[in-house]
Amino acid sequence: MIIKFFHNGQTMLIDGVEFCKYRTLDPGEPVISRMDCKDFTDDQNKPIACPPVNQAEGPNLRLEFWYERNGNPGQLLCHRPVFLMSDEGKTIERI
Q: Which residues fall within 8 angstroms of residue 26, CB to CB, at 6 or more apart?
A: none
Per residue in 10-68, pLDDT tens?
A: 999 999 999 999 999 998 889 999 999 999 987 555 545 555 455 455 566 899 999 99
User: Where do the domains of the chain lie?
Assistant: 2-94
Pairing of strands 17-25, 38-39: unpaired
pTM: 0.81
Q: Are 68 and 19 in contact (CB under 8 A)?
A: yes
